Amino acid sequence: MNEKNRHEILVGLHVSDEAAYARYREAMTPLLEARGGFFRLDFRVAEVLRGPDSRVNRVFIISFPDQATMDGFFDDPEYKQIRAAHFDPAVESGGVIATFSS
């Protein structure tokens, strides 16, 4: 997998239902990988020292081959169905912290 010239996003979430979030990850990962995407880093956070949401308990970098691939992934109807079924009930708050190219 080419790890140069990739489009990446740093995300911070407040996951309130770990089981539902695990189901989300299990269901969405094959779609992500089919588009050449992957999770570069993934952390469970014990304490937030500074930031707009002190409840963030999950931080990760998700990597895509390029911006267009990322946009296509998040616009995919199958992904949207998975998100509605598993992500939305599992995540109370959060979102993109930063986007960058590596």
pLDDT digits (tens, 9 = 90+) for 37-94: 999 999 999 999 998 889 999 999 999 999 999 999 999 999 999 999 999 999 999 9
User: 3 pLDDT exceeds 70?
Assistant: no
Query: Which token pair is 54?
Result: 């002190």
Nearest-angstrom CA–CA distance, 29 and 36: 11
Fold for 7-101, please state it: Alpha-Beta Plaits (3.30.70)
Q: What is the pLDDT of residue 52?
A: 86
User: 97 pLDDT exceeds 80?
Assistant: yes
Query: Where in the chain are the domains?
Result: 7-101
User: For the whole model, what pTM was predicted?
Assistant: 0.90
